[in-house]
Amino acid sequence: MAIVELLRVLVDQEGMELEFAWELVYKSFSYTNHTILPEALEKWGTDLLESLLPRHLEIIYIINFIFLEKVSKKFPNDMNRLNSLSIIEESNPKRCRMANLVRN
């Protein structure tokens, strides 16, 4: 959530343009994980995020939109790739793939 929180502070509190703030955030974080096993990769319910941190969830959707636009341009009409890389898992209920968030 540090990525989302920094983006929120830069945009909402410091008044930066989203694109400039995202570039700063993107260049400021890196991610490593000791495993790629599915059971080790956290998924948070969007309903929980919406009730506790609605602005953060909104920012996650913005990050996801920006990311999926880039993927779509590089791999046109590849819906399977978009679905697997999306931060938001379109399950019932929807879940936020935290590892996908930090890998963008």
For 44, the enclosing helix (H) or strand (E) is strand 43-45
Tell me: the pLDDT tens digits for 13-25?
A: 999 999 999 999 9
Query: Would you state the pLDDT for residue 33?
Result: 63
Burial of 101 (0-12, 13-18, 19+ CB in 10 A): buried
Tell me: the pLDDT tens digits for 50-62?
A: 999 999 999 999 9
The residue range of the domain holding 77 is 2-103
**pTM score, two decimals?**
0.86
Sorting pLDDT into bands at 50, 70 and 90, what band is 104?
low
Check pLDDT > 80 for residue 103.
Answer: no
Split into its structural domains, the chain has a count of 1
